[in-house]
Structure 1
Amino acid sequence: MRKKTIRKRSSRFRLFRIVFLAGFLLTVTLIFLVSTLGTQKFGAMHKLVLEAVGPLQKMVTFTTSSVKNFVDDHLVVFQDSLRLREENNRLLIQLQEKEELLNKSREAMATNASFRRLLGFRDGLSRPAIAASVIGKDPSVWFRSIIIDQGSNSGIVKGNPVVNSEGVVGQVFTTSPNYSKVLLAIAPSSAIDVLLQKSRVRGILKGTGTLTYRLEYILKTVEVEEGDYVVTAGYGGVFPTGLPVGVVSRVIKKPRGMFHEIEVTPTVDYQTLEHLLVIEQRDISELQQMDAF
């Protein structure tokens, strides 16, 4: 009870002091106003109030000025920062546009160079050829194939050989009016009649499903070395004679058996196929004449 009574007395005393102070300030203010409005002369009370209020007003003015200067300075910095950011964004956009144009220019130059090589290769072929582009790939290992953007409407039929400027790519095995599917020469179901260019010995080049070939039916009596070129034999009139196919990369001489075990690396980069040539088949009458001869 005593503690509560002491707290109440303390609260009342604080309230009394606040009221007294407020009354004193109000009285001083009224006296200042009366003395100011009532006469143009500075009385003692006016001077006293002025002396009391002056430092406070000076401090308020200084603080206000400092805050204003601080805000103005930081506002200028903020505006400069915004301008710099906008300028950086503008320059970044310009740089990206320039890089995009540069990339397009490089791509156009690379495409043109590829087409020039392909057209130069076509000029050296003994048969007409149709230019096509790769638009899809079959990822399966056993039946590796690609889809090209030319079909039966362009005169392409099943069995047409497909090449590029590097050599043999494969054969067309199905067509639609506007598209064709090409069986790659590296597919395990592919087999091509070939010659060892140096010795002119004939063999069968088979796909392995990987980025290599296997050359079969080359007798051990034949001298075969790494680096020997393998070209198409031209039998059956499917592929023209002498088209590059690959390079001998390994010769395994086993003690048993009649034939060499030969690994051939393709001259064609199958991972970067883009533009191809589909070679037209010979006429049936021409093939019959060749067979009769």
Structure 2
Amino acid sequence: MKRRGTLLIRIGELKDFLRRFFIFLLFVSAFLLILLSRVDSLVVDAANSFVMNVTGPVMQVVELPSRFIHRVYTYFYDISHIYADNRALQVENKQMLMLQNKVRTLEVENQLLERLLNYVPPAEATFMSAKIIAESGDSFTHTLLVYIGDENVKKGQIVLGDESVIGRIDKVSGRYAKVILVTDINSKIPVVIERTRVRGILSGNNTAFPQMMFTRSTSDIQEGDVVVTSGVGGMFPSGLPIGFVNSVKNGIVDVETMADISRVEYVRIVDYGLSAESENLSEFLENDKNAQ
């Protein structure tokens, strides 16, 4: 019995020791685990730092070509867009310039037509406006080609530029008419000096200054005098302005037309109901020649 009690005591002491040992072992294990996790974290951080320090420069070198290609691509992409935008702006600018030119042209044409409208022909006259489409100003002829459309234009009708006579209809063909200018060598118009009523014939000479011929005297003619149609011969009514006396030298009277024919774009064709009677005009010229 005594031995048995001693054995139980020893067994109890052993159990108590084992329990304490396991508790100690548990604390030691927990401590070691905590220590190991800390050590692992430091090792991992160190490893990560090492890898980053080694691979970082390598990755930078490896990325250089791709960065260069990306930059080149971006550069040319931007240039292509800038070029496209520039082309679009150029097209838009050209369109704007064309519109501006059209607006200016319309403004000028409107002004020209307004000038033509300022002239009020006699009640018995009919008129129409026509656009000049060609002109001939060589050493042999001074003529215009105008578009008349379906208007009833006839040979001999008077052509006005702004408010003064610049010529007469010479030929009509379809929708076009040929105008012989007062500066043409074939143009002969009976005129009179408005101030002194000195008569003569305004004869073209294919220059900018037709000459007033067959005047009885030039003593009453001065520079700046207004030259108008006389109505003699039945070709033109009287009083239509043509030009100004530019110079009077040695009996020669040079006349400057009121209208700058080189700048005329629209003309007015006026029908006064007069017929060109060449016989009367020839008789007038012969009488003037004999009187001199």
Sequence identity (%): 27
Residues in 2 aligned to 1:210 and 1:128: alpha-carbon distance in whole angstroms: 31
Q: Do 2:166 and 2:181's aligned partners in 1 also have CA atoms closer than 8 Å?
A: yes
Q: Do 2:190 and 2:233's aligned partners in 1 also have CA atoms closer than 8 Å?
A: no
Which residue of the other structure, out of 256, 268, 280, is the alignment partner of 1:277?
268
* 1:86 alignment counterpart: 84
Q: Does 1:129 align with 2:119?
A: no
* Structure 2 unmatched ranges of 5 or more: 1-53, 276-292
- Look up the SS of the partner of 2:247 in the other structure: strand
Which residue of the other structure, out of 222, 235, 240, is the alignment partner of 2:232?
235
* 1:262 alignment counterpart: 253
Query: In the TM superposition, what are the counterparts of 1:135-154 in structure 2 within 5 Å?
Result: 135-150=133-148, 154=151
Q: Do 1:238 and 1:281's aligned partners in 2 also have CA atoms closer than 8 Å?
A: no
* 1:214 alignment counterpart: 211
For residues 213-234 of structure 1, the C-alpha deviation after alignment (integer angstroms, 9 at most, x for no partner) is: 1111334463222211111112
Please tell me the residue identity of whatever aligns with 1:95: N
Residues in 2 aligned to 1:72 and 1:162: alpha-carbon distance in whole angstroms: 73
Name the CA shift for 1:232/1:157 in 2 (closer, same or farther; >3 Å): same
Name the CA shift for 1:154/1:83 in 2 (closer, same or farther; >3 Å): closer
* 2:242 alignment counterpart: 245
- Look up the SS of the partner of 2:71 in the other structure: helix
Q: Do 1:247 and 1:266's aligned partners in 2 also have CA atoms closer than 8 Å?
A: yes
* 1:65 alignment counterpart: 63
Name the CA shift for 1:77/1:177 in 2 (closer, same or farther; >3 Å): closer
Residues in 1 aligned to 2:133 and 2:239: alpha-carbon distance in whole angstroms: 28
* 1:110 alignment counterpart: 108
The structure whose Rg is larger is: 2
* 1:178 alignment counterpart: 175
Residues in 2 aligned to 1:73 and 1:150: alpha-carbon distance in whole angstroms: 66
Residues in 1 aligned to 2:95 and 2:274: alpha-carbon distance in whole angstroms: 52
- Look up the SS of the partner of 2:119 in the other structure: helix
- Look up the SS of the partner of 1:138 in the other structure: strand
Residues in 2 aligned to 1:123 and 1:161: alpha-carbon distance in whole angstroms: 11
* 2:160 alignment counterpart: 163
Please tell me the residue identity of whatever aligns with 1:79: Y
Q: Do 2:118 and 2:163's aligned partners in 1 also have CA atoms closer than 8 Å?
A: no
Q: Do 1:122 and 1:129's aligned partners in 2 also have CA atoms closer than 8 Å?
A: no
Q: Do 1:225 and 1:248's aligned partners in 2 also have CA atoms closer than 8 Å?
A: yes
Residues in 1 aligned to 2:122 and 2:91: alpha-carbon distance in whole angstroms: 47
Residues in 2 aligned to 1:133 and 1:190: alpha-carbon distance in whole angstroms: 21
* 1:50 alignment counterpart: none
Query: In the TM superposition, what are the counterparts of 1:10-25 in structure 2 within 5 Å?
Result: none
Deviation of 1:282 after TM superposition, in Å, equals 2.1
Residues in 2 aligned to 1:147 and 1:249: alpha-carbon distance in whole angstroms: 28
Q: Do 1:193 and 1:234's aligned partners in 2 also have CA atoms closer than 8 Å?
A: yes
Residues in 2 aligned to 1:283 and 1:96: alpha-carbon distance in whole angstroms: 50
* Structure 1 unmatched ranges of 5 or more: 1-54, 255-259, 285-293
Q: Do 1:129 and 1:279's aligned partners in 2 also have CA atoms closer than 8 Å?
A: yes
- Give the paired residue count: 223
- Look up the SS of the partner of 2:134 in the other structure: strand
For residues 239-273 of structure 1, the C-alpha deviation after alignment (integer angstroms, 9 at most, x for no partner) is: 22221111111111x3xxxxx21111111222123
Residues in 2 aligned to 1:106 and 1:58: alpha-carbon distance in whole angstroms: 68
TM-score by length of 2: 0.68
TM-score by length of 1: 0.68
Deviation of 1:199 after TM superposition, in Å, equals 1.1
Q: Does 1:194 align with 2:191?
A: yes
Bigger mean CA offset, 195-204 vs 231-240: 231-240
